[in-house]
Structure 1
Amino acid sequence: MEKNNRTIVNAWCMYDWANSVHALVIISSIFPVYFSATALGASGTPDTNFFGLQIKSSVLFSYTVSVSFLITASLVPLCTAIADFTGKKKRFMQFFCYTGAISCMLLYFFTKDTLIPSVFLFGLSLIGWSGSIVFYDSYLPEIATEDKFDAYSARGFSLGYLGSVLLLLFNLSMILAPQFYGITEKSVPARISFLTVGLWWILFAQIPFHYLPAGKKKEKRDGNWLFNGFLELKKVYGRLKEQPYLAKFLSAFFIYTMGLRTVMYVATIFGATELKLPSQSLIITVLLIQLVGIAGSYIFAWLSGQIGNIYALMIGVAIWIGICAGAYHTTEAREFDIIACTVGMVMGGIQSLSRSTYAKLIPENVTDTASYFSFYDVTEKLAIVLGTFIYGAVEQMTGSMRNSILALLVIFIIGLLLLYRIPSRKVYHLKLDHREN
C-alpha cells in the first residue's frame, strides 16, 4: 500500500471524528451527569439498588467501566488474530463500531425503571467503542511512514476533539433551551443526545470504512482459531524479550494509563458527587476541555519533535501528578475549571504520543500489526480495568473520592519513574550526530 496517501490518511483520521463523540458525550459529559442523577436511590441518597446490592452510583459507574474493559481485553486477542489471518480487519472494526453505536442509541430509553438494562447497554457501548479502536490504531503503521506517526496521530485526536465538540454544542443547546425544540419532558434532551451519538458515529464512520483497505490475508494455518488468537498474543509477548525498549515502554504505559484513563472516566462524576457542581456547569467545563485538548495534541506533537517522545511523555505525566495533587485540595468550581483545562491540555497529547511512540517502537519488518496493536490495546484495557477498580474500591472502603485521587497520584509517580528508564531516541540520535562530527 502507498504510505502517506493524503486521501487514505484523512479517511483514517475521520474515524476519530466519528467515534470521539462517544468519549465526550457518553464517557465524559452528559451521560455521567445523567447517570448520577438517575441512579439515585428512592430517598435521594447516592446509593442505588443493583441486583439487590446497595452501591453508590459513582462506584457502580466505575465498576461498569472495569468489567466492560475486562471483557474487551478478553475479546481483542481472538478478534485481531482472526483479522490478521483472514484479512478482514475492517470487518471487525465495523462490527465493534456498530455494536457500540447501536448501544448508545438504545440508551435513549434509560430511565429509573430501566437502570439495570441501561447499565449493560453502557457497558456494551464501551466494548464496541474500545474494540473498534484496536483495529483503527493498527492501521497507522500501514498507512504512514514513521516520521509521520506523531503528526497523523495528533491530527486524528484533534479531529476527534473538534467533531465531538460540534455535537456536544448541539446537545447542550437542547439541554439549556429545550423549549426551542418543543421539548417539555426534563430527561428527554439528555436521552436524545445518546441517540445522536450513535447516529453520528455510524454516519461518519462510513468515510474510513470506504477508503481504508480490508487487510491482507495470510496463509491459512492449522489449529483452532481460539488457540491461534491467543497464540499470536503470546508470540508478541515473547518478542518483547528481543525488544527491551518496547517492553519498558509498555510497562510504563500500563501504569500511567491506569491513572490517565481513570481520570477521564470519573472526572465528571467527581465534580457532580464530591463538589456538588451543577450539571450544566460540568458539561460546559467538559466542552472547554475538548477545545483546549485540540491545542494540546499539537503542542505535544511539536514537543516530541524537539526533545523526543519519551521526554515529552515524562513532562505530560509530571503534569498529571500536579493535576491529582490539585484535585485532592479542590473545593470550588473555579479551581475545578482550572484543573479541568489542564487535563484537556495533556489528555489528548499523551494519548496521541503514546500511540505514535508504540508504532515507532514496533519492528519495521512486522506485517501482523493488528496483533501488535492487539497487545497494546489489551495492555491499555487491563490498565483501565485495574485503575477504575482501584478508584472505586478506595472510594467504597473510605467513603471519599479524594482518597481515590491520592491513589491515582501514586500511580502517576510510578509511571514517571518507569518512563525515566527509557532513553529518548531523539537524544540518542543527537549524541550519535555529535560523535560523527
Structure 2
Amino acid sequence: MTELGTAPAGAVLRHRRGWYLYGWGSHVFPTIVVTVFMGRYLTSLAENAVGKAGRVSVVGIPVAPGSLFAYLVSFATVLLVVAMPVVGAIADRTGAKREILLGFGWLGAAACVAMFAVRGGNWQLGAVLFVVAFLGYSCATVVNYALLVDVSGTAERDRVSSTGWALAYVGGGLLLAGDFLLSLFLDDKALLARISLCSAGLWWALFNLRSWQLLAGLPRTEASSGAEPVLLAGFRQLRRTLAGVRRYPLTVAFLLAFLVYNDGIQTVTTIAAQYGDKELHLDDTVLLSAILLVQFVAFGGALWLGRLAERFGAKRVVLGSLVAWLLLVLAAYLVRAGTAWQFYLLAVGIAVVLGGSQALSRSMFSRLIPAGSEAEYFGFYEISDSGTSWLGPLIFGLAYQLSGSYRSALVSLVVFFVAGFVLLARVPLRAAICQAGNVAPDRV
C-alpha cells in the first residue's frame, strides 16, 4: 500500500485535487448519458425504426425496443469482465496510471461527442457509440479508484472517498442544470438529447486536461524489464493474481457482496428516467429537474454518510443504506402515474443514500487489497461499479419483456438488496483488512 509519508505533502494535495477533478468531469457520463438521456433516446430510436410493439434485430436476435438499452448495458459489462482486470494489471505493472486513466477518459468523451450524429431510426450507431463510451469510462474508472490509495491514508480514506463522490455529483449536476434550462426553450426532444450527449463529452474532455496537469508526478511502480508486450504481460499478471486471490478469501467474500448489492443500486439509477418516462408518463421537465435534484442532494448525502462512517464504521452505514434502498424500490412500485411530487420524494430518498453507499463501499474495498495490486483488484470491483453490472439489467430487461410492465420489472430488483445485505453482514471486515496485510482504522 502506498505510504503517503514518502511524498511531499504539497504533491499529495495536488494529486488529490486532480483526482477530485477527474470525478467532477467524468461523472457526466453516468449522470447525463446513462441515467438521463441515452436509455430513453435509444429506446425512442428503436421504436421509430420498428414501432413500440415491434422487435429490432441484434445479431439476429429479436429484442423489444423497451429492453434494448438494458440488454446493451449487459453486453458491454460482459466485455468488461475481461477488459477491466487486464487494464488494472497493466496499470499496476507499468505504473502509468495517469496515462491510462486519461487515455480511456478521452476515448469515452470522444464517443459521447460523436453521439450528436445519432438521429432518426439509426439506433445501431447509437448502440455502438454507447458501448465505446461505456468501455472508456469503465476502464478509466478502474485506475481512478485505485488512485484513492495514492491520494489518501488509511484513516482518512472514508472521508476522501466520500468527498470525491460528493464533488462528482456537483460536477454532473451543473452540466445537467444547463440541459434543464435548455429543455425549457427547446421543444425538439431528439435535438435536446443529441446536444446534451455531445456536451457531456466536451465537458468530460475539458476537465481531463486540467486533471492531466494536476496528476503529474504520481508515484510510479518500477516498470518490469524485458521485451514481453505489455498486453501479454497484463494477461500473465492477471493470471497470477487470480491464482493468488485464494489467499484472501475474506476479500473475495466482500467483493461478492458488493457485486450483488451494487448490481441493484446501479440498475435502479440506470432505469430511473426510463421508468419515469415510460411507466409514470412524466414529461422531460419533471424528469430532468428530479435527476438534477438528485445530484445536489447526493452531495450532502455523501458527506453525511461519510461522517456517520467515522462514528459508526463504514460497514454499519452501508448495511443501513441497503435497508433504505429496499424500501425505496418498494416505494417506487407504488408511485402513481403522472404524480410528479411522489417522483420528487423518491428522488430525494435515493439521493440521500446513493453517493454514500458507493463511496463507503469503495473505501472499504481499498483496505482489503494487498499492496501493489490496487488497480488490478479494482478491475474486479469495477465490473459491478461501471455505471451498471450485467445481471441486474438483464433481469430487468427479461422481466419487462415477459410482463410488459416496468413496475413488475422494478420489483424484480429487490432480491439484490436482500441478498447483498446478508452477504455483507457475514463479512468480518477487520479480519479481512488484516488478512490483506493492511492496518485497520479504529472503526470499520
The structure 1 residue matched to 2:151, chosen from 134, 139, 143, is 143
The residue that corresponds to 2:377 in the other structure is: 372
1:227-275 Cα deviation digits (max 9, x unpaired): 5423433433444433343222111101101101111111111111111
TM-score (norm 1): 0.89
Number of residue-to-residue matches in the alignment: 423
Alpha-carbon RMSD across the aligned residues, in angstroms, is: 2.6
1:375-413 Cα deviation digits (max 9, x unpaired): 322354597011111111121122222222222101110
1:178-224 Cα deviation digits (max 9, x unpaired): 3xxxxx85532331111111111011112222222463233226766
The residue that corresponds to 2:306 in the other structure is: 301
**1:297, 1:87 → 2: CA distance?**
30
1:290 equivalent to 2:295? Answer yes
Q: 1:76 to 1:113 in 2, by over 3 A?
A: same
Q: Secondary structure at the match of 2:122?
A: helix
1:13 touches 1:152 (CA, 8 Å); kept in 2? no
**1:104, 1:296 → 2: CA distance?**
28
The residue that corresponds to 1:191 in the other structure is: 194
**1:367, 1:290 → 2: CA distance?**
34
Q: What's the CA shift for 1:279?
A: 1.9
2:85 touches 2:378 (CA, 8 Å); kept in 1? no
1:252 touches 1:419 (CA, 8 Å); kept in 2? yes
Q: What's the CA shift for 1:168?
A: 1.0
**2:51, 2:380 → 1: CA distance?**
43
Q: 1:134 to 1:42 in 2, by over 3 A?
A: closer
What 5-or-longer segments of structure 2 have no aligned partner?
1-5, 435-440
**2:283, 2:85 → 1: CA distance?**
42
Q: 1:400 to 1:2 in 2, by over 3 A?
A: same
The structure 1 residue matched to 2:208, chosen from 205, 216, 233, is 205
The letter of the residue matching 2:17 is N
When structure 1 is superposed on structure 2, of 108-117 and 314-323 the one drifting more is 108-117
1:23-53 Cα deviation digits (max 9, x unpaired): 1110111333333333324685254534576
**2:205, 2:368 → 1: CA distance?**
32
The residue that corresponds to 1:347 in the other structure is: 354
1:88-127 Cα deviation digits (max 9, x unpaired): 2222212211111011011111212322111111121111
The structure 1 residue matched to 2:404, chosen from 381, 399, 407, is 399
Q: What's the CA shift for 1:326?
A: 1.3
1:49 equivalent to 2:56? Answer yes
The structure 1 residue matched to 2:224, chosen from 198, 219, 224, is 219
The letter of the residue matching 1:132 is A
**2:386, 2:40 → 1: CA distance?**
24
Pairwise mapping of residues 21-36 of structure 1 onto structure 2 (< 5 A)? Answer: 21-36=28-43
1:162 touches 1:291 (CA, 8 Å); kept in 2? yes
Q: What's the CA shift for 1:18?
A: 0.6
Identity %: 28
Q: What's the CA shift for 1:58?
A: 2.6
**2:23, 2:175 → 1: CA distance?**
14
The residue that corresponds to 1:17 in the other structure is: 24
Q: What's the CA shift for 1:87?
A: 2.5
Q: 1:237 to 1:303 in 2, by over 3 A?
A: farther
Q: What's the CA shift for 1:163?
A: 1.2
When structure 1 is superposed on structure 2, of 228-237 and 167-176 the one drifting more is 228-237
**1:106, 1:167 → 2: CA distance?**
18
The structure 2 residue matched to 1:107, chosen from 115, 118, 121, is 115
1:418 equivalent to 2:423? Answer yes
The structure 1 residue matched to 2:141, chosen from 124, 133, 137, is 133
**1:156, 1:411 → 2: CA distance?**
26
2:25 touches 2:168 (CA, 8 Å); kept in 1? yes
The letter of the residue matching 1:386 is L
The residue that corresponds to 2:275 in the other structure is: 270
The residue that corresponds to 1:359 in the other structure is: 366
Q: Secondary structure at the match of 2:281?
A: coil
When structure 1 is superposed on structure 2, of 403-412 and 297-306 the one drifting more is 403-412
**1:125, 1:270 → 2: CA distance?**
23
The residue that corresponds to 2:170 in the other structure is: 162
Q: 1:352 to 1:238 in 2, by over 3 A?
A: same
**2:327, 2:335 → 1: CA distance?**
12
The residue that corresponds to 2:438 in the other structure is: none
The letter of the residue matching 1:21 is V
The letter of the residue matching 2:362 is R
Q: What's the CA shift for 1:321?
A: 0.9
The residue that corresponds to 1:243 in the other structure is: 248
The letter of the residue matching 1:220 is S
The letter of the residue matching 1:22 is F
1:281 equivalent to 2:286? Answer yes
- Higher helix proportion (structure 1 or 2): 1
**2:87, 2:49 → 1: CA distance?**
42
The letter of the residue matching 1:146 is T
2:262 touches 2:384 (CA, 8 Å); kept in 1? no
Q: 1:250 to 1:185 in 2, by over 3 A?
A: closer
What 5-or-longer segments of structure 1 have no aligned partner?
179-183
When structure 1 is superposed on structure 2, of 285-294 and 36-45 the one drifting more is 36-45
Q: Secondary structure at the match of 1:147?
A: coil
TM-score (norm 2): 0.88
Pairwise mapping of residues 168-187 of structure 1 onto structure 2 (< 5 A)? Answer: 168-178=176-186, 187=190
Q: What's the CA shift for 1:174?
A: 1.4
**2:416, 2:207 → 1: CA distance?**
36
1:153 touches 1:356 (CA, 8 Å); kept in 2? yes
Q: 1:47 to 1:264 in 2, by over 3 A?
A: farther
When structure 1 is superposed on structure 2, of 25-34 and 158-167 the one drifting more is 25-34
